[in-house]
Amino acid sequence: MAAPAKTLIDFFQQPAAKRLKGASSPPLSALSSLKDDDAAASSKSTVSISPEQKRRMEYNKSLALSKRNLKLCSDKLSKAVATGAGYVKLEEVLVEETWSEVLSGELQKPYARKLCEFVETEICHGITPIYPPQHLIFNALNTTPFDCVKAVIIGQDPYHGPGQAMGLSFSVPEGIKVPSSLQNIYKELQKDMGCTIPSNGNLEKWAIQGVLLLNAVLTVRQHQANSHAKKGWEQFTDAIIGAISQKRSGVVFLLWGNYAQAKSRLIDESKHYILKSAHPSGLSANRGFFGCRHFSRTNQLLEKSGVSPIDWQL
């Protein structure tokens, strides 16, 4: 006799399948507890990172990148010296990838080729030392990536005394006497921000935080100020300023003195901020640099744009 056909009710009344021996599911309460713990841990992790800790993490990351770029340049120069070449092509010591991309092809232009030939001749065949050392010529760019630039301080050309130039405008290495212009910068910084005056003139900490310390001319002969002016560097650094103006927004340009202020023609003031004052040199600091309050104003403008301020204390 054939078994009677099953109805839908019969299917729904089938006994539950037997569980495999030894297999068990955690109770819903346990799963819920695990999810709550994960959420709490995630929330705690997020809350525990303060703005200051976040800035410190960003600084350490930028510092590591700067050291990596400096080592790349130093290694290139050491290799050139070891092989007897004694010179590294300019394009080879611009190692920061963001700037290499932004300035792609700039060093291959006719004016730049002449500039490269001039600098190579000065280094390899000149009788006067050239500053800064080759691996530091693009130190400003290699220390402050293009997409990290918050502010720009424009100088004229490198210091021309032995050991002074380090590829950052107004900055000298530790152990070198602080130049008078930088001493005046420190005085204004103390009045403006309450910072203590440091014992050295190394401004690398500013550069790592996003202050592009850019000289208009990037090399110089020993004891001969402006000796490499009008050789092509101005066109190259104008291209740098123009790229920032065109491709970035909310950058603060600190233009001290007439020479730097002439660069304002390259800057789109509808997208960026320009702060002008007299030059901090001993000859002009009392004619408008002292009291300009550019450091606090820079931070106010950055915060207005939602960008973390600069810690100016060295």
Instruction: Give the separation between CA 288 and CA 261, rounded to whole angstroms.
Output: 14
* DSSP 8-state assignment for residue 32: H
DSSP 109: S
Contact 218, 137 (CB under 8 A): yes
Full DSSP string of 259-289: HHHGGGGGS-TTTSEEEEE--SSTTTGGGTT
Q: Give the separation between CA 100 and CA 251, rounded to whole angstroms.
A: 20
Q: Is 75 a catalytic residue?
A: no
Residue corresponding to tokens 């009344």 = 13
d(CA 276, CA 254): 6
- φ, ψ dihedrals at 147, nearest 5°: -80, 0
Task: Sort 111 into a burial class: Cβ within 10 Å, 0-12 / 13-18 / 19+.
Answer: middle
Of the candidates 38, 147, 157, 311, the residue annotated as catalytic is 157
Pairing of strands 252-256, 151-155: parallel
CA distance 300 to 310: 10
Name beta bridge partners: 277: 256
Look at residues 67, 286, 314 and name the one whose alpha carbon lies nearest to residue 178.
Answer: 314
| Residue 126: CB atoms within 10 Å | 13
Tokens of 185: 């910068």
Q: What is each CA distance from 57 to 50, 60, 71, 121, 287, in whole angstroms? A: 11, 5, 21, 43, 40
Query: Which residues belong to the active site?
Result: 157
